[in-house]
Structure 1
Amino acid sequence: MSVTSASARTFRSLQRHRNFRLYFAGQSISISGTWVQNIAQAWLIVELTHSPVGSPLALGALAAFQFLPYTVLGLLGGPLVDRFDKRMTIVATQTTLMLSAAALAILSLSGRATVWEVFVLAAVGGAVQVVDMPARQSFVFEMVGRKELPNAVSLNASLFNLARAAGPAVAGVLIATVGVTLCFAINAVSFLAVIGSLLLMRTTELFTTEPDEERQGVLSSLGEGVSWVLHTPAAWLTCGLMLVVSTFAINFNVLLPVMATVTLRSGPVVFGILTACFGVGALVGALVTAAVGRPSWTLLLGGAAAFSVLLMALAPLHWVAACGAMLFVTGVAFTTYTSMSNATVQLAAPDRLRGRAMAFYGYIFTGVPAPLGGLLAGWLSSVGGTQLAFLVGGGVSLAAVGVAVGVRRGAVRLPRSWRASRAGAAAANGRATSASGRATPAPAMAASSITSDAK
């Protein structure tokens, strides 16, 4: 009975919402294709640079090109998402990404692909993410509503990490047997699944939110969203910690190819295995957090601390089995932390600001850290191997968790203006409305002082 009850809690948003089931099925195919391409794209750079050490600097540059557009423009996506239909916005962005993957497949098939062409197509994908990322994240709310949001966020993370596990394993085999071209073609076709799922949804069953009625300019609208984050304690503490952790520690797209080729002296199959091990662990973490009723500071900060420590423990390992096992456990901690962070910001945000709130969160998670962190990880691994990169990333992240714990316990004093702003943030949350137009109370974790626990 307890097993049945746990299963029901874990998958309740899928059981109750047809639109989310459609989206979940479509995304399971599409994201798997994306991970196949991610691995193939990184390996194509290794092949094009003809580097026996995996060209860590070139891989760092790939990460920079991929995320630089989001770094420059990422915050502008929020105001745009809040003004348009999120479902059709995602259809448009996914179609564009499909065409980009097809172009990469054609270039690879021709045998004339260059490093700079790969960089440019990576930048195109990054530009699309400016709108796609906040649209997809905030659309989860419209599919399941406020009550089921934490569960849906965790299940969404489980889907992403299932793809992280399966995609690299498939990519490793494909690269070793037929090359990278088929990987890009598979990704292009996979986008049809999520596009189809979006078009098949029943719009009458969506928890639609009212668009921002104040027709502000984009910059003014952006400023309102940023101001809300900075004056909502749960939001700015969550985003501040994520900025540090993501910049210094979440650079696996750069470090795992180098670990496979340099540290472990292996090839694409081991690269795929390492990425899959992390993905399986992250999937387990996502399924565990899906059973949690609402966000918890204990899980958020505990997950971040565990992730940081495990990253440092990974540094000295030189055996494939040991690295795979450690990456599995690291993945569990990673998704526990990131799922709690995502749900915290989403639940704290008023409906009319949710797109902007998630754009800010996505910017903190990806826009700033990815190019800077990718280049930093590439440089550190070129100087001291992946050992140095993992040690620095884990150590800095653990220090940031310590500061966050100090803030929650009152050991680190906050600026007076931020402490005084709590009432204003609560008032902004109080303006949130449900699909029926009734006022929706802000969740305890979001609206309360960050020094009060909400489990």
Structure 2
Amino acid sequence: MGSARLGGRTFASLRHRDYRLYFAGSAVSFIGTWMQQIAAFWLVLDLTHSPVAVGALALVQTLPVTVLSLVGGSLADRVDVRRMLVACDAVLTVVAATLAALALSGAIAVWHFYALGLVYGVVVALGAPSRHTLVFRIVGRDDLPNAVALSSGLGTTARIVGPALGGLVVAAAGPGVAFAVNAGSYIVSIVALLAMRLSRQRLGAAAGPLLAGIAETFRFAFSVRRVTVTFLTVLLVSTFAFNFDVLLPLVARRTLDEGAAVFGLIASVFGAGALCGALILATVGRARLVLVLGGAAGFGAFQLALAPQSSLPVVCALLFVIGIFYILWGSSALAVLQLAAPEHLRGRAASLYFFGFQGGAPVGGLIAGALTSLGGTKLAFTSAGAIAILVAALGAAALVRTAPPRRVEPRSP
């Protein structure tokens, strides 16, 4: 009975039919996306032999987030989010199919990755807040922490399956096939979205100009200390300590002196740890700021331990633990922000998280590539770990300074 109740609590959000559809469609799409990411980063590294070029690809994919994610949040508060996501997935299907055609024909060049990566980044920046808002509108306030954790678990399962499949496909059939599989995965996601039964009442629009909505997002971010600490923790840790898309191929190629299959393996191990963290959060089912700060501190501490390692088993073990802590701070932060927001700011609260999570990635990716060029992945992980620990400590200190003093009852004579 106890295990049954535990399992029911862990997977509570799946009782919603539309969330089951979202979950299934996203599962296929996320796996395809990671296959494409593995293929793209590996092929750019193979074409250029430059870690800076890999960082530049991360830059063009994430730069639009810095500029447009808050616009996407304002849109999510005033449009039909399902139609928005269908349109976004349709464009991403075209991007993946174009990459497949270029790669399979042998005409692919580095600039193609940069141009199509920019389109990809724009679409993701505009669509991601709608994706998070859709989950909230499907499951409601009570099940949101559980749904966020399960969605994170879904994304991290894709980190296990996607890189593993991507590495095998790239090694056996070439990157063009991985791109083609991703194009098909977006079609599955579109079908799942169209099959949902969302009521119109759940898709209300926000009033007011778009730019005024962005200003209101920042007022919300700095109006409450709890929200401010959460947002700044996500922004700083993501920018300076979460650049694994850039660093993991360099760990495989330079630190471990291995190929695409090992790259897929270590990326999958990181995803396995993240899946474990997501199941822990889904079972807890509550949004807690202590998990944001504690997760960030652990995330940094184990990167410091990873920095000097050059043994594949040790690297895998540490990446597994790092994956757990990544989910503890990342998913908890999303739930904290969304639950703290009033109804009319729901989409913008999601965009605030997304802006924090990827808004600094253009700078962070270049820094990670440059640090690796100067001192290898050891320097990059050492810097990342130290910054994550510092940010967590400063966040905790800010909360302690603003906490009300404890009342001391006088002793009885």
TM-score normalised by structure 2 residue count: 0.96
Identity of aligned residues (%): 44
The amino acid across from 2:204 in the alignment is: E
- The equivalent residue for 1:127 is 122
- The equivalent residue for 1:148 is 143
1:354 and 1:450 map into 2 onto residues whose CA distance is 29
Could you give the per-residue CA deviations for residues 341-387 of structure 1, whole angstroms, max 9, x where no partner exists? 010001011111111121122111102x2110000000000000000
2:378 and 2:404 map into 1 onto residues whose CA distance is 35
> How is 1:249-288 mapped onto 2 (pairs within 5 angstroms)?
249-288=241-280
1:137 and 1:207 map into 2 onto residues whose CA distance is 17
How far 1:4 sits from its partner (Å)? 1.3
Which of structure 1's runs of 4+ aligned residues deviate more than 6 A? 449-452
Could you give the per-residue CA deviations for residues 136-194 of structure 1, whole angstroms, max 9, x where no partner exists? 01111011011100000000000000000000001111111111010000000001111
2:139 and 2:223 map into 1 onto residues whose CA distance is 27
How far 1:207 sits from its partner (Å)? 7.2
How far 1:209 sits from its partner (Å)? 5.0
Q: 1:185 aligns with which of 162, 180, 185?
A: 180
Q: 1:315 aligns with which of 304, 307, 317?
A: 307
Matched, 1:37 2:36: yes
Q: 2:298 aligns with which of 303, 306, 312?
A: 306
Q: 1:67 aligns with which of 54, 62, 65?
A: 62
Matched, 1:176 2:171: yes
How far 1:235 sits from its partner (Å)? 1.6
- The equivalent residue for 2:12 is 12
Q: Is contact 1:345-1:358 (8 Å) kept?
A: yes
Q: 1:327 aligns with which of 306, 314, 319?
A: 319
What is the SS of the residue equivalent to 2:284? coil
Q: Measured at CA, do residues 333 and 242 of structure 1 come closer, stay the same or move farther in structure 2, by a change above 3 Å?
A: same
Q: 1:386 aligns with which of 373, 377, 389?
A: 377
Q: Is contact 1:30-1:187 (8 Å) kept?
A: yes
- The equivalent residue for 2:364 is 373
2:405 and 2:144 map into 1 onto residues whose CA distance is 23
- The equivalent residue for 1:398 is 389
2:371 and 2:274 map into 1 onto residues whose CA distance is 25
Could you give the per-residue CA deviations for residues 223-244 of structure 1, whole angstroms, max 9, x where no partner exists? 1121112112222110101111
How far 1:69 sits from its partner (Å)? 1.7
- The equivalent residue for 1:84 is 79
The amino acid across from 2:271 in the alignment is: G
Q: 1:222 aligns with which of 199, 214, 219?
A: 214
- The equivalent residue for 1:22 is 21
1:364 and 1:391 map into 2 onto residues whose CA distance is 22
How far 1:451 sits from its partner (Å)? 9.5
Matched, 1:241 2:236: no
Larger helix fraction of residues: 2
> How is 1:52-63 mapped onto 2 (pairs within 5 angstroms)?
55-63=50-58
1:246 and 1:298 map into 2 onto residues whose CA distance is 18
- The equivalent residue for 1:353 is 345
Q: Measured at CA, do residues 147 and 207 of structure 1 come closer, stay the same or move farther in structure 2, by a change above 3 Å?
A: farther
1:398 and 1:207 map into 2 onto residues whose CA distance is 43
How far 1:391 sits from its partner (Å)? 0.3
1:331 and 1:207 map into 2 onto residues whose CA distance is 38
Comparing 293-302 and 146-155, the one that deviates more = 293-302
1:293 and 1:268 map into 2 onto residues whose CA distance is 37
2:186 and 2:150 map into 1 onto residues whose CA distance is 20
1:451 and 1:181 map into 2 onto residues whose CA distance is 61
Structure 1 residues without counterparts, runs of 5 or longer: 414-448
Q: Measured at CA, do residues 207 and 300 of structure 1 come closer, stay the same or move farther in structure 2, by a change above 3 Å?
A: farther
- The equivalent residue for 1:208 is 202
- The equivalent residue for 1:409 is 400
Q: Is contact 1:141-1:207 (8 Å) kept?
A: no
2:141 and 2:133 map into 1 onto residues whose CA distance is 11
Could you give the per-residue CA deviations for residues 195-249 of structure 1, whole angstroms, max 9, x where no partner exists? 1111111124x8715321x3x2211121112111211222211010111100111
The amino acid across from 1:406 in the alignment is: A
1:235 and 1:177 map into 2 onto residues whose CA distance is 47
2:63 and 2:303 map into 1 onto residues whose CA distance is 25
How far 1:286 sits from its partner (Å)? 0.2
TM-score normalised by structure 1 residue count: 0.87
Q: Is contact 1:251-1:373 (8 Å) kept?
A: yes
The amino acid across from 1:257 in the alignment is: P
- The equivalent residue for 1:105 is 100
Measured on the aligned residues, the alpha-carbon RMSD in Å equals 1.5
How far 1:74 sits from its partner (Å)? 2.3
The amino acid across from 1:35 in the alignment is: W
Q: Is contact 1:233-1:450 (8 Å) kept?
A: no
2:154 and 2:300 map into 1 onto residues whose CA distance is 23
Q: Is contact 1:144-1:207 (8 Å) kept?
A: no
